[in-house]
Amino acid sequence: MVKIGSHVSMSGDDMYLGSVKEALSYDANAFMVYTGAPQNTLRKRISDLRIEDAVNLMKEHNLSFDNVIVHAPYIINLANPDPEKREFAISFLTEEVKRTAAMHAKQIVLHPGSAVGGDRVLAVEWIAEGVKKVISNTRGLDVKIALETMAGKGNEIGKTFEELKAIIDLVDEKDRVSVCFDTCHTHDAGYEVKTNFDGVIKHFDEVVGKSYISVFHVNDSKNPIGAAKDRHENFGFGFLGFDSLLHVIYHQDFKDIPKILETPYVEGNPPYKEEIVMIKEKAFDPDLVLKLKSKS
Ligand code: FE
Ligand code: FE
Ligand code: ZN
C-alpha cells in the first residue's frame, strides 16, 4: 500500500496528539511535523508534547512510526559564516534530534544550509561538520538526518546531487544520514523530473546511491524547470502535472518510502484529504482547486 500523507501542524494543547488526529482526518498513513513554528526556534518541553497520547492513537490506527517524519526549522543554517550561529544551529539541531527520537520518528528533514558569502565548497564543509557534531551528540539514537534536495534559491546548498554526496562523504556514520527527495525542488533545480524521472533517479543512484532516499516530498511546482524559485503548487496543478507525480509515488524502487505532500492551502483550506483521494484512486480532479475555493 502506498505510504502517503502531508505535513500537519503541532500546536495548541494537543500538540503531537493533534498532529496524529489531523493526519487521520486526511486518511493519511504517513505525516510530517515541525516541532514548533518552522520560522523560529522556540520549542516546548518534550514532556509537554503529549507524546504518549499521540503514540497510543497511532497504534490504534496502525500508523507506523516509520512513516512519521520531523522537519527541522528552515531558519537553521549550519553553513552560517558566524561561528557562534553555527554553534547555535548545532545545539538546536541536537535537541531536535532528541525530540524526534522521543516522538518515535526515525528521521528529521534538514535543509542543508545556505552559502551566505557565496563560497559553496566551504559551506559544504561547515554543513558536514555540523551534521557530524549533531550525530555524535546524539549517538545511539535511531534517527537519520535527511538532507533535502533544494531548488537552488539564493545560495542554497543541495541544489545538485553532487553537493549532497559531498556532504555525505564527509560524514563517517553514514547510517545516520539520508536524503529527502523533493519533486518541486529538483524540478526547480533543473532535473527532468517531469519527463524523465527514471533518468533522474539513475543519475541520483550513480552520484549518491538511491538507497539513501528515505522520504519524498511530492509537490507540484508553480514554475518551469530550472526556475530555482521553490514555490509549491497543488498536486497535478503545476508544471510537473498529475501523471509525472503519480509515477514518482508508485515507482517500484520506492514502494516502502513515505511520500509527503507540502502543497499549498487553497484560501485557508487544506487540500490534503482530497489530494490523497486523487492519489489513491489514480484519478485527477481538474476541479479540485475550485471546489476547495468554494469551501471558503
Ligand atoms: Fe523542506
Ligand atoms: Fe520539501
Ligand atoms: Zn519547498
Tens digit of each residue's pLDDT (9 = 90 or more) over 120-136: 999 999 999 999 999 99
CA of 180 to the centre of ligand 1 (A): 8
Distance from first CA to last CA of the chain, Å, rounded?
A: 33
Task: Give the bridge partners for 8, in sequence order.
Answer: 33
Collapsed DSSP state (helix, strand, coil) of residue 105: coil
For position 282, what pLDDT does the model report?
Answer: 98
| Averaged pLDDT of the chain | 97
Cell numbers standing for residue 260: 509527503
* Ligand with smallest separation from the Cα of 74: 1
Mean pLDDT of 31-47: 93
The answer to whether the CB of 147 falls within 8 A of the CB of 164 is yes
Cell numbers standing for residue 72: 527541522
Q: Is residue 257 over pLDDT 90?
A: yes
For position 121, what pLDDT does the model report?
Answer: 97
Collapsed DSSP state (helix, strand, coil) of residue 177: strand
CA of 262 to the centre of ligand 1 (A): 9
Count other Cβ atoms within 10 Å, centred on residue 187: 28
Interval 140-195: pLDDT, tens: 999 999 999 999 999 999 999 999 999 999 999 999 999 999 999 999 999 999 99
CA of 262 to the centre of ligand 2 (A): 7
* Ligand with smallest separation from the Cα of 182: 2
For position 68, what pLDDT does the model report?
Answer: 98
The answer to whether the CB of 260 falls within 8 A of the CB of 32 is yes
Mean pLDDT of 246-257: 98
For position 152, what pLDDT does the model report?
Answer: 97
Q: Is residue 296 over pLDDT 90?
A: no
Mean pLDDT of 14-23: 98
For position 77, what pLDDT does the model report?
Answer: 97
In terms of Cα–Cα distance, which of 188, 223, 225, 186 is closest to 207?
186
Distance CA 118, CA 204 (A): 25
Which residues are CB-contacts of 215 (< 8 A; sequence separation ≥ 6)?
A: 32, 69, 107, 109, 146, 178, 180, 181, 257, 258, 259, 260
Query: Which CA distances in Å does 121 have to 57, 116, 276?
Result: 45, 12, 40
Q: Is residue 38 over pLDDT 90?
A: no
Q: Is the entire prediction scored with pTM above 0.95? A: yes
Distance CA 32, CA 96 (A): 14
Chain-centroid distance of CA 176 in Å reads: 16
For position 276, what pLDDT does the model report?
Answer: 98
* C-alpha radius of gyration, the chain, whole number: 18
CA of 294 to the centre of ligand 1 (A): 29
The answer to whether the CB of 197 falls within 8 A of the CB of 231 is no
CA of 72 to the centre of ligand 1 (A): 8
CA of 260 to the centre of ligand 1 (A): 11
* Ligand with smallest separation from the Cα of 262: 2
* Ligand with smallest separation from the Cα of 111: 1
Q: Is residue 80 over pLDDT 90?
A: yes
Question: 36-39: long-range contacts (C-beta < 8 A, 24 or more apart)?
Answer: 36/10, 36/11, 36/73, 37/73, 38/71, 38/73, 38/74, 38/75, 39/73, 39/74, 39/75
In terms of Cα–Cα distance, which of 25, 33, 31 is closest to 49?
33
* Ligand with smallest separation from the Cα of 108: 1
CA of 261 to the centre of ligand 1 (A): 11
Q: Is residue 27 over pLDDT 90?
A: yes
